[in-house]
Amino acid sequence: MRPSLFSQTPSDLTSTLENLGEPSYRGTQILEWLWQKRVDSIDSMSNLPASLRAHLEEAFTLQTLTHAKTQGSADTTRKFLFRLHDGRFVECVLIPASPALYGERSDRHTLCVSSQVGCAFACKFCASGLDGFTRNLTPEEIAGQVLLSEELSGKKINNIVFMGMGEPLANLSHLLKSIELITSPWGIGIGARHLTISTSGLVPQIRKLADHPQQIRLAISLHGATDEVRERIMPINNKWPLSDLFDALRYWMEKKKQKITLEYILIEGVNDELKQAELLVKRARSIRAKVNLIPYNTVEGLSWNRPDDAHCRKFRDILSGNGVSATLRLEKGHDIDAACGQLRLKEEQLNTPE
Ligand code: SAH
């Protein structure tokens, strides 16, 4: 299969063009057609000589992903299902700014992107891992979710969270290249500070990412304040228990000097004891992290539930009352299967790729 032209960075293009005996400024022109003018055919790149366009047609495709389905409406959270060239599906969620947090007229648009088809980490509460792992997304399939969501919504995405399907740190080299496509001025041009990588806790990769020069942000799917609770729902905790994870987070803090977010889904009777909140206070304070509490989003086929609102507030108050910055996310999109992996599972059950 021909590679996508969207996978090409300026240095990749320089060598491609050199081999074709073309001047390197053609690379700048090509990138502008792709990322700024967003053409859908190589033939539309009208300032390139016909011979070069023909060479590019032979060597590359423009294909990344195509739109399969949208759930939700223009003024609320919208979930897009995208089809990949091999018939697989990924999803991403466009979340408009919350007026309560950012004001009525905020133009903040957050996109939650996927990094893999399926997931190998098998967190017990999550729909993404139910069918296991299929494959890594390529860098252009990751960045392509941003392009296609902007096209479909007419909105400029200015904030990205890697909280869709998959474990981004298990696809580190493609993740890093997608970050280059997304943050570069010749690419999508979103500042690294507006990108948040969420991980279930791959310790060696967290350290590697800490050494990466860009100021990307980190969120950790914690979901338990003790090994005992966490390993019941997240098998990864058997490999890297909380002490190893927090050592890596301290390393991150030293290198990046930037607040980490601890995500904590509240699942009734599993991790929502108020004792966990007290222990979470200690964990968060040890690395000066903030905490995002998320009432569990029910998944068809799984028997987990969210605690009632009053209990969620009590849990939050223990954190806030002890000096930990904590938000209780009034999560959006519950009615549109917004929890990661849910929409794709439905689609694949109806429409299994050969
Ligand atoms: N693998 C990465 C990123 C994808 S999951 C990670 O684990 O962080 C993004 C977030 O959604 C994680 O915090 C995950 O635990 C959470 N999540 C998964 N299923 C959920 C559900 N049903 N309800 C609420 N949050 C869920």
Cα of 298 vs centre of ligand 1, distance in Å, is 12
Instruction: Name the closest-CA residue to atom 10, ligand 1.
Output: 163
Q: Is the pLDDT of residue 65 over 90?
A: yes
- In whole angstroms, give the CA distance from residue 263 to residue 245: 14
Per DSSP, 43 falls in state G
216-273 tens-digit pLDDT: 999 999 999 999 999 999 999 999 999 999 999 999 999 999 999 999 999 999 999 9
- Known catalytic residue: 312? no
Q: Which pLDDT value is given to residue 18?
A: 94
Cβ–ligand 1 distance for 299 under 6 Å, the answer yes
- Known catalytic residue: 91? yes
Tokens linked to 109: 């648009």
Cβ–ligand 1 distance for 265 under 6 Å, the answer yes
Instruction: Name the closest-CA residue to atom 13, ligand 1.
Output: 221
Question: Based on C-alpha coordinates, what's the Rg of the chain?
Answer: 21
pTM: 0.92
Please give, one letter per residue, the 3-state secondary structure of 307-348.
Answer: CCHHHHHHHHHHHHHCCCCEEECCCCCHHHCCCCCHHHHHHH
Residue 87 neighbours by CB under 8 Å, 6+ apart: 353, 354
Q: Which of 91, 140, 141, 167 is catalytic?
A: 91
Tokens linked to 103: 């004001």
Cα of 236 vs centre of ligand 1, distance in Å, is 14
75-115 tens-digit pLDDT: 678 999 999 999 999 999 998 876 665 666 678 899 999 99
Q: Alpha carbon of 285 to those of 207, 223, 230, 254, 260: distances in Å?
A: 20, 16, 19, 15, 11
b/e burial code for range 165-195 (CB count within 10 A of at least 16 → b):
bbbbbbbbebbbbbbebbbeebbbebeeebb
- In whole angstroms, give the CA distance from residue 354 to residue 344: 16
Q: Which of 92, 278, 340, 354 is catalytic?
A: 340
Cβ–ligand 1 distance for 297 under 6 Å, the answer yes
Residue 260 neighbours by CB under 8 Å, 6+ apart: 218, 219, 220, 249, 252, 253, 287, 289, 290
**Structural domains for the chain:** 5-59 (1.10.150.530), 65-350 (3.20.20.70)
